Amino acid sequence: MNWLPGYNYILASKSPRRQELLHSLGINFQVVIKEVEENFPEHLFKEEIPVFLAELKSKSLMDKLKENDLLITADTIVWLNGEVLGKPENKQEAIKILQKLSANEHQVITGVCLTSIHKQKSFFSVSNVRFKELSLSEIEYYVSEYNPLDKAGAYGIQEWIGYIGITHIEGSFFNVMGLPVQQLYTEIQNF
């Protein structure tokens, strides 16, 4: 199904989860990856951060767009007590992040930017997620058996830690995976 006839969909993301989610919507798309330094101004707050980063990724590819292209860029952060918990740099940092999330509720916020050569539309989605109190052995098992280093907040909701640890979610499950597909579907239809 092609929602916007005549458009070539381009996903600028190396995330296998985003690619899987977009593919599951029935969109034919190509993946284009351009490394972008994911830095943001310190004055940005909460949902402003992933929207800024999604737009930054979009800007890096604007000169490559053709008349009938629709570029999709996204960025996801985990927000806990006024702090961004990004992707961990190593396993020790992943353990520390998961210890912070243990027995707490946090927000997963994804910013998405849709760009053509004629216009741009950005939006965000927020999901509230609560973890049970995780034991150190549960955290260490997850970090050693899975790959949390490529995930904001050091976890994947669709993996073992999500199965055993998440007690409550309010909002889009798929947003926590990295792409709010229902909202994306609606925004593309209205683009």
Query: Rounded to an integer, what distance in angstroms lies between the CA atom of residue 189 and that of residue 82?
Result: 34
| pLDDT > 70 fraction of the chain, expressed in percent and rounded | 97
Q: Which of 63, 69, 75, 150 is catalytic?
A: 75
Strand pairing category for 8-11 and 69-80: parallel
User: Does the residue 152 lie in any domain?
Assistant: yes
- Is 154 within a domain? yes
Q: Is residue 3 part of a domain?
A: no
Residue 114 lies in a domain: yes
- Check: CB of residue 151 under 8 Å from CB of residue 87: yes
Q: Please, where are the H alpha helices in 25-108?
A: 48-59, 91-101
Q: Check: CB of residue 129 under 8 Å from CB of residue 157.
A: yes
For 37, the domain range is 8-189
Q: Has residue 1 been placed in a domain?
A: no
Q: How many domains does the chain have?
A: 1
**pLDDT band at 145; cut points 50, 70, 90:** very high
Residue 38 lies in a domain: yes
Continuous segment of H or E residues that includes residue 112: strand 105-115
pTM: 0.93
Active site residue 75: yes
Of residues 188, 189, 176, 183, the one with CA closest to residue 18: 176
CATH at 161: 3.90.950.10
Residues 134, 63: contact at Cβ < 8 Å?
no
Q: Which ranges constitute the DSSP H helices of 42-166?
A: 48-59, 91-101, 136-145, 160-165
Establish if 2 belongs to a structural domain: no
pLDDT band at residue 3, thresholds of 50, 70 and 90?
low
pLDDT-wise least confident of 4-8, 24-28, 61-65 = 4-8
Q: How confident is the model at residue 180 (pLDDT cuts 50, 70, 90)?
A: very high
- What is the residue type of 60? S
